[in-house]
Structure 1
Amino acid sequence: MAQKKMALACSECGSRNYTITANPNRVERLQVKKFCKHCNRHTLHQETR
């Protein structure tokens, strides 16, 4: 069975730069500081649904 994927979107520009596997046990959206190649700096990325 294939795993479901979620995207991480930059909170500054909104581009979806990263993908992660979906975790059904997570109740809140994942927030991680990652590098955004469009903003050219580290920004907060949030899990999209």
Structure 2
Amino acid sequence: MIFTVGHSTRHQAELIAILKEAGVELLVDVRRFPGSRRHPQFGQEAL
């Protein structure tokens, strides 16, 4: 099964907790440009 998720304005730890609670075991970043100036915790280097 495949789901999509947006990080919104959450902190990285908060998003991870939500994913774990939902039973997500694997997360794949498929963005063409994996970076975020507004939310650097979700940039390519941080992930």
Higher share in helix: 2
Higher share in strand: 1
Return the structure number with greater relative CO, CA threshold 8 A, min gap 6. 1
* TM-score between both structures, scaled by the size of structure 1: 0.26
* TM-score between both structures, scaled by the size of structure 2: 0.27
